[in-house]
Amino acid sequence: MEPEITRRQRLYRISAIVLKRHDQGEADRLLTVFTRDRGKLTLLAKGVRKPASRKAGHIEPFTHVDLLVAKGKSLDLVTQAETIHAHRRLREDLVRSSWAYYVAELADVFTQDDDPNDLLFDLLLETLGRLDGDGEPALAVRYYELHLLALTGYQPQLFRCVQCNELLKPEVNFLSLERGGALCPQHGANRPETIALSVNVFKVLRFLQTRAWAEVAPLQISPGTMGQVEALLKRYVVYHLEHTLRSVAFLDRLRQGLAQMPMANGE
């Protein structure tokens, strides 16, 4: 028998959100999880595809779970799993499921392994909770996108012109994907690389970016404006993935899959 102290040093307990899983071998699964203390991790869950596995039900995608993990030679092993929040609707409702996949994938592609980001963990957990609840899913996802961009270093500058640094007024301004922010009419108009931002879209983006969710949740936004905000944020996300993060597989899915995803205006 090895001493108790050695065994305990090799075990650690973490609060984790399951981002995705892959089958491995006969009965095992590889899990990609996002944890509060350690950021993103890849773990091996042995035997979970066997019918008798007690861990299996606890490590479904989008579940918030308490894990007891043993340090392994290459991969760490899940030894116990206990559900904290099941987020059941995210697996049972097809529409909610597609939102949840998108949210989990963004957390995956915008983060590196072993790079803790507790605010992002909280944002992800809150967003999955909102998608599992009765609120407007599209609004929760837009809020998530803007705050995820901020927490991973890609926050769009929406308050001062990225060229002249003047405070932007509530008028038609312009967004530059490349420069990561808005331009005043003088510096942004009539340029092929900029996108016009209507006053409403501009206001919604700034509100979502700076306000707490409690203030955002009651907002009533017209489907037209919401559709424009969605398209804009998607372009912003895709641009930064292409130019810096280069997650090709995700980009392909984003281009194909999100074209069919339910839009805010029900299209």
Measured over the CA atoms of residue 241, residue 245, residue 246 and residue 250, the dihedral's sign is negative
Look at residues 24, 21, 23 and name the one whose alpha carbon lies nearest to residue 32: 21
Residues 6 or more apart whose CB falls under 8 angstroms from that of 190 comprise none
The distance of closest approach from Cβ of residue 208 to Zn ion in the complex, given in angstroms and rounded to an integer, is 23
Look at residues 115, 118, 102 and name the one whose alpha carbon lies nearest to residue 238: 102
Q: What is the rounded distance in angstroms from the CA atom of residue 116 to the CA atom of residue 125? A: 15
Structure tokens at 99: 């939102």
Nearer to Zn ion, 184 or 216 (CB): 184
Alpha helices of the chain — where are they, by DSSP H? 4-9, 89-92, 94-109, 118-132, 137-151, 185-188, 199-210, 213-216, 223-240, 248-260
Nearer to Zn ion, 34 or 174 (CB): 174
Q: What is the rounded distance in angstroms from the CA atom of residue 155 to the CA atom of residue 159? A: 11
Nearer to Zn ion, 163 or 265 (CB): 163
The distance of closest approach from Cβ of residue 156 to Zn ion in the complex, given in angstroms and rounded to an integer, is 15
The distance of closest approach from Cβ of residue 195 to Zn ion in the complex, given in angstroms and rounded to an integer, is 15
Nearer to Zn ion, 205 or 216 (CB): 205
Q: How many Cα atoms sit within 13 Å of 240 on the Cβ side?
A: 24
Nearer to Zn ion, 103 or 184 (CB): 184
Sheet strands side by side (includes 181-183): 181-183, 173-176, 194-197
Q: What is the rounded distance in angstroms from the CA atom of residue 42 to the CA atom of residue 59? A: 13
Nearer to Zn ion, 130 or 187 (CB): 187
Nearer to Zn ion, 111 or 173 (CB): 173
Structure tokens at 114: 């072993």
The distance of closest approach from Cβ of residue 183 to Zn ion in the complex, given in angstroms and rounded to an integer, is 6
The distance of closest approach from Cβ of residue 197 to Zn ion in the complex, given in angstroms and rounded to an integer, is 14
The distance of closest approach from Cβ of residue 201 to Zn ion in the complex, given in angstroms and rounded to an integer, is 18
Structure tokens at 243: 């130019």
Which residue's CB comes closest to Zn ion? 161
Task: Kindly list the residues in this chain that would bind Zn ion in the complex (CB under 5 A).
Answer: 161, 163-164, 184, 187
Q: What is the rounded distance in angstroms from the CA atom of residue 96 to the CA atom of residue 10? A: 38
The distance of closest approach from Cβ of residue 199 to Zn ion in the complex, given in angstroms and rounded to an integer, is 17
